[in-house]
Chain A
Amino acid sequence: MIKENVFLDQFRLLFDETDPSLITLDTKFKDLEEWNSLIILSLIVLCEDEFKIIISPNQIQNSKTVCDLIESLESNLK
């Protein structure tokens, strides 16, 4: 099980220009102005290094909110 708040804290750290309070579990993260390919790569590395889960770029592409992302990650654990 991924702790939502732990993931959210780490996820927020991937952004440098975005106010962290704008990023919640319901945020459609791909709509954030700062969203870019380096953040996608950072997210993949974060999942692998911190949560020991391999996530594909397609899974990120198919997730809308941070919550979706966590669900998608958890499906990789099964």
Chain B
Amino acid sequence: MINENFSNKKILVTGATSGIGLGISRMLNEYKAQLTISGRNQTKLNKISNEFELSNLNFNKGILADVCNLEDISNLVQEIDTLDGLVLNAGIIDYTPAKLITEKKVIDLFYTNVFSNFFLVQKLLHSKKIKKGASIVIISSIAAKVGVPGTSIYAASKGALNSYAKVLASELSLQNIRVNVVSPGVVKTDLIENTNVTSDFQMSNLSTKYPLGLGEIIDIVYLVQFLLSENSKWMTGSNIDIDGGYLLNN
């Protein structure tokens, strides 16, 4: 039986202003979690926070934080209470063949997708803001496990995140804090639709590689819900592919 009582749980979701992060936050808000969301776009963050406040008395707040800015991360940590759940979701993508990679792209991708999480978790742990028994969910990607041309920096950043998660799970198991990774295949969000290479043709081409079709945000949300709940209390250090069967053929 899924235990969906999140009302007594303090949970932080990063990158909650769009796509998968917004979907996860909506679900948690419906289940009346004591939710804190963060994003870097004030307008979007205010709009979503207002919407959440109206439907959930337990909603905590939206905190503006560019995860590439250490000061913002420190403020974020200062402003939140001790967490029962943390979803590290903020991320960006890039399609650049290895031959054309630039220093700026590498730094942007790695800072957003990897380093920001190192620093956020470090500060949370240091200030004892992750409860014993808490669940940390990290959103990675199946990109780290295959060789899609043009994704080298993105895939490498997610690969780094996967390794980080394993070690973190091991270190935090002593405090009964669980760390699990979700590795989605392609889900239609702004991340995919706003890239330089997306066209209707490529989208339809892409969907042929997915036996069950492209993913929907809700598909990822259900898995994250399970990992945040106590129903997954015996899981840590796992990395779960959720990809409509993409990896069956690739």
Which residues on A are within 8 Å of B, measured CB to CB?
Answer: 37-38, 41-42, 44-46, 48-49, 54, 56-58
Q: How far is the CB of A23 from chain B (nearest CB, A)?
A: 17
Contact assessment for B102 and A41 in the assembled complex, using a CB-CB cutoff below 8 Å:
no
Interface contacts (Cβ under 8 Å), in number, total 33
Which residues of the other chain, B, contact A46 by a CB distance below 8 angstroms? 100
Complex CA gap A37/B102 in Å reads 20
The answer to whether A57 and B197 have CB atoms under 8 Å apart is yes
Contact call B199/A41, Cβ cutoff below 8 A? no
Decide yes or no: A41 and B149 within 8 Å by CB, A48-B196, A49-B102, A54-B196 being known contacts: yes
Find out whether the CB atom of A44 lies under 8 angstroms from the CB atom of B197.
Answer: yes
Interface size band for B: 10 to 19
Tell me the B residues contacting A by CB distance below 8 Å: 95-97, 99-100, 102, 149-150, 196-197, 199, 201-202
A57 to B102, CA, bound (A): 22
Q: With A38-B150, A42-B100 as known contacts, state yes or no: A58 contacts B95, CB within 8 Å.
A: no
Residues of A within 8 Å of B99, CB to CB, are 42
- Besides A44-B95, A58-B199, 14 more A-B contacts (Cβ < 8 Å) are A38-B97, A41-B95, A41-B97, A42-B99, A44-B197, A45-B95, A45-B96, A45-B97, A45-B100, A46-B100, A49-B100, A57-B197, A57-B201, A58-B201
Q: List 30 A-B contacts (CB under 8 A).
A: A37-B149, A38-B97, A38-B149, A38-B150, A41-B95, A41-B149, A41-B150, A41-B197, A42-B97, A42-B99, A42-B100, A44-B95, A44-B196, A44-B197, A45-B95, A45-B96, A45-B97, A45-B100, A45-B196, A46-B100, A48-B196, A49-B100, A49-B102, A54-B196, A56-B199, A57-B199, A57-B201, A57-B202, A58-B199, A58-B201
Overall SS of chain B's interface: loop
Instruction: Determine how close the nearest CB of chain A comes to the CB of B106; give it in whole angstroms.
Output: 13
Closest 8 CB pairs of A and B: A57-B199, A41-B150, A42-B97, A38-B149, A45-B100, A45-B96, A44-B196, A38-B97
A42 to B96 CA separation, bound complex (whole angstroms):
7
How distant is B158 from chain A, measured CB to nearest CB, in Å?
A: 19
Q: Complex Cα distance A13/B125, Å?
A: 48
Q: How far is the CA of A42 from the CA of B149 in the complex (A)?
A: 10
Report the Cα distance A56→B102, complex, angstroms.
Answer: 21
